[in-house]
Structure 1
């Protein structure tokens, strides 16, 4: 579809291996599958759905929850974006413009800025879709994230987690930027986040 060169099957195997690492309880193959399913539902809204799909495959390609090792990179999104751009331009020999777009989409999953256009909005909303899923699925997500950071002292983890969850409620007008995902998940996401914050605060 993108008329790529190189060896896509080998790249796929590398991505699969990265997302199958034993310490990945949430940021794994299942998360990628969920994201791609969400994209399928909203693909018609995107200006460049291929860029979003590529970015979803790579947005957690580098993921190190174990930051107690100071030799590890501390900016996974930037590392993932750099890896994706290298793969696009050097291995698949696709245009630089596509690489820049994919890198920008991956960086949007830092969730530190308001998404600037429909593709970035969809990328962020898809990454946050888990927040609006059923209580059962959301609770599994929270437990898996907790396990990924199991080395962090409980008090420290709780304070950081509350801060992160509150940021989704307090630092933006709504959790989801697109009407599509707002209508689909906003109400349940607000309930899940408030419930989780309350439980963590006990």
Structure 2
């Protein structure tokens, strides 16, 4: 595992929770993100979101947000990921609660838990930290086509147990629900830069699924 990522986690954990529990929390995260079946929702996904967060930290609308809470939410948001279940976000949030123990009384932890739970629906976030974290999680939708195609293929591999016909129907439904939204990104920064590309990527994948591809 990338030691830079581990050191970053230890720093965030110490500031947010305190000096104890970092090792156990890290082991719990690595047990999840290190699973062989994590073709997309693994450590590279976490690393990409952290890098995305770093890239926007200095923007006027973002610089005053609780960066540690956002980093903590990123670190735990897909810690539990079972394609056969629909409660992964709640279970990931519960894992943070369990690992943090008495730290749950801190605003940073409560904020991170709320962000993780919000990834279940990716609906409008009440807190600015939540809106940013959700946009970071969806940034891949507006990535260059080759990156988006690799993402879509990795998601399909995670759902390899689903027959093709059922996959096309289910995945198309997810894409259509995103496309039906008035906007995909909740922050001005991500909306201005990624909205058009994301809609094009989603529409093209939906068309390919409809065509049986």
Fold-level similarity (TM above 0.5): yes
Q: Does 1:43 align with 2:61?
A: no
Say which of 155, 165, 177 aligns to 1:145: 155
- 1:120 aligned residue (125, 130, 133): 130
Task: Identify the residue that residue 82 of structure 1 maps to in structure 2.
Answer: 94
The answer as to whether partners of 2:175 and 2:202 remain within 8 angstroms in 1 is yes
TM-score (norm 1): 0.89
Q: Does 1:11 align with 2:25?
A: yes
RMSD of aligned alpha carbons: 1.6
Name structure 2 gaps, 5 residues minimum. 1-10
Query: What is the rounded CA distance, in whole Å, between the counterparts of 1:179 and 1:74 in structure 2?
Result: 30
**Counterpart in the other structure of 1:187:** 196
Q: Is 1:59 matched with 2:77?
A: yes
Identify the match of residue 33 of structure 1 among 47, 56, 70: 47
Task: Report the more deviating stretch, 6-15 or 22-31.
Answer: 6-15
The TM-score normalised by the length of structure 2 is 0.85
In structure 1, runs of 5+ residues without a counterpart are 68-72
Counterparts of 1:31 and 1:147 in 2: how far apart (Å)?
15
The whole-number CA distance in structure 2 between the counterparts of 1:35 and 1:127 is 7
Contact 1:89–1:99, Cα closer than 8 Å, also in 2: no
Provide the C-alpha distance between the structure 1 equivalents of 2:21 and 2:157, rounded to a whole number of angstroms: 35
Is 1:174–2:192 an aligned residue pair? no
Quick check: 1:101 aligned with 2:111?
yes
* Segments of 4+ moved more than 4 angstroms: none
SS of 1:182's equivalent? helix
